[in-house]
């Protein structure tokens, strides 16, 4: 308990009595950690901000000093013009936030695959987090080669008919172009009975992105909860990431209290950064 308090003392505790959207800037953020590409940098998965517009999302990211984001289509629609894309990117860039990926994008037709890759090219990101139907994996591989953009297939837990765990995705891409890989959602993996640390060791370099969350139990009805309060062994997970030299981002995807997420985001970010420091 003492170590947990140490990890989060400047996160959720620092939010007591604070409204979600005060006027803030980088100097007033809760964290001062500066990250680099070799330090398992923390990001935010865009779905976290389902109920918030771009300025509100930016303010929350500034509050927790997180500077990397995988953007979702409710903030930047798939059919956006280049002008719209540039406008949205500038909003994030001016706030010190880098959009490093797009998605999750569902790919149920060839047209939707085409749209996803064209969109990613316009946004200027190297990774699409996607969910292609099985019969479109070959076509998606063709687009990966054509655009030189990685496709990271996202697992969605036991209720998902396509990719309940990372294994279903890995088995379908392991012999394909090495730019086809996984977005490992550790919460959904855990609910499907797959320990995140084990998945990292098994799938190694084919993991291109991470969605970080905790869950209450390793069953279908396990619920999302603040990182460190559930059952996932985060120290083992981080050690596994370091062992395989994971080069990507570790994006918090907070799905509890989604209409009031800032306290939970802050606690999850603080806890994960504390685990990183403790296992360096």
Q: Looking at the DSSP assignment, which residues form a beta bridge with residue 252?
A: 44, 212
- Residue 226 is predicted with a pLDDT of 98
Could you tell me the two tokens for 143? 């687009």
* Alpha helical stretches, state H, 101-165: 110-123, 137-147
- Could you read off the pLDDT of 212-256 as tens digits, one per residue? 999 999 999 999 999 999 999 999 999 999 999 999 999 999 999
Domain span at residue 195?
38-278
- For the chain, which residues score pLDDT lower than 50? 1-2, 5, 8-38
Among 152, 148, 150, residue whose Cα is nearest residue 166: 152
Q: Could you tell me the CATH number of the domain that includes residue 81?
A: 3.20.20.150
Among 94, 205, 201, 102, residue whose Cα is nearest residue 154: 102
- Could you read off the pLDDT of 3-31 as tens digits, one per residue? 554 554 444 443 433 444 443 333 333 33
Q: Please, what sign has the CA dihedral across residues 54, 57, 61, 67?
A: negative
- Residue 278 is predicted with a pLDDT of 86
**Residue 143, in any domain of the structure:** yes
**Residue 7, in any domain of the structure:** no
**Residue 15, in any domain of the structure:** no
**Residue 66, in any domain of the structure:** yes
**Residue 238, in any domain of the structure:** yes
- Residue 179 is predicted with a pLDDT of 98
The C-alpha atoms of residue 118 and residue 146 are separated, in whole angstroms, by 11
Which residue matches tokens 């308090």?
5
- Residue 279 is predicted with a pLDDT of 82
Cβ contacts of residue 241 below 8 Å, gap of 6+? 40, 200, 250
**Residue 75, in any domain of the structure:** yes
**Residue 274, in any domain of the structure:** yes
Per DSSP, the residues of 30-99 read: S------TTS--EEEEGGGGTTS-HHHHHHHHHHTT--EEEE-TTTS-TT--HHHHHHHHHHHHHTT-EE
Q: Please, what sign has the CA dihedral across residues 274, 254, 44, 153?
A: positive
**Residue 22, in any domain of the structure:** no
Look up the pTM and report it: 0.89
Could you tell me the two tokens for 228? 């460190």
Report how many domains make up the chain: 1
Rounded to 10 degrees, the C-alpha dihedral 105/244/149/115 comes to -10
- Residue 39 is predicted with a pLDDT of 85
DSSP 109: S
């Amino acid at each position: 308990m003492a170590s947990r308090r140490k990890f989060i003392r400047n996160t959720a505790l620092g939010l007591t009595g604070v409204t979600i959207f005060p006027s803030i800037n980088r100097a007033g953020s809760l964290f001062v950690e500066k990250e680099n590409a070799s330090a398992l940098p923390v990001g935010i998965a865009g779905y976290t901000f389902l109920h918030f517009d771009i300025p509100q999302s930016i303010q929350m990211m500034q509050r927790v000093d997180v500077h990397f984001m995988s953007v979702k289509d409710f903030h930047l629609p798939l059919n956006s013009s280049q002008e719209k894309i540039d406008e949205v990117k500038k909003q994030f860039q001016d706030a010190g936030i880098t959009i490093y990926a797009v998605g999750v994008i569902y790919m149920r037709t060839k047209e939707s695959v085409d749209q996803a890759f064209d969109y990613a090219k316009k946004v200027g990101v190297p990774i699409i987090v996607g969910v292609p139907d099985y019969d479109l994996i070959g076509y998606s591989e063709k687009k990966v080669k054509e655009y030189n953009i990685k496709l990271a297939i996202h697992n969605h837990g036991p209720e998902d008919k396509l990719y309940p765990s990372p294994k279903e995705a890995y088995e379908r891409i392991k012999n394909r172009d090495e730019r086809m890989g996984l977005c490992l959602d550790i919460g959904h993996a855990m609910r499907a009975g797959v320990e995140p640390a084990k998945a990292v060791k098994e799938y190694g370099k084919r993991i291109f992105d991470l969605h970080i969350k905790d869950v209450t139990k390793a069953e279908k009805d396990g619920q999302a909860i603040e990182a460190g309060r559930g059952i996932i062994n985060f120290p083992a997970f981080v050690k596994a990431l370091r062992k395989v030299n994971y080069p990507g981002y570790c994006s918090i995807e907070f799905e509890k209290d989604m209409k009031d997420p800032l306290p939970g985001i802050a606690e999850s970010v603080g806890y994960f950064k504390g685990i990183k420091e403790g296992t360096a």
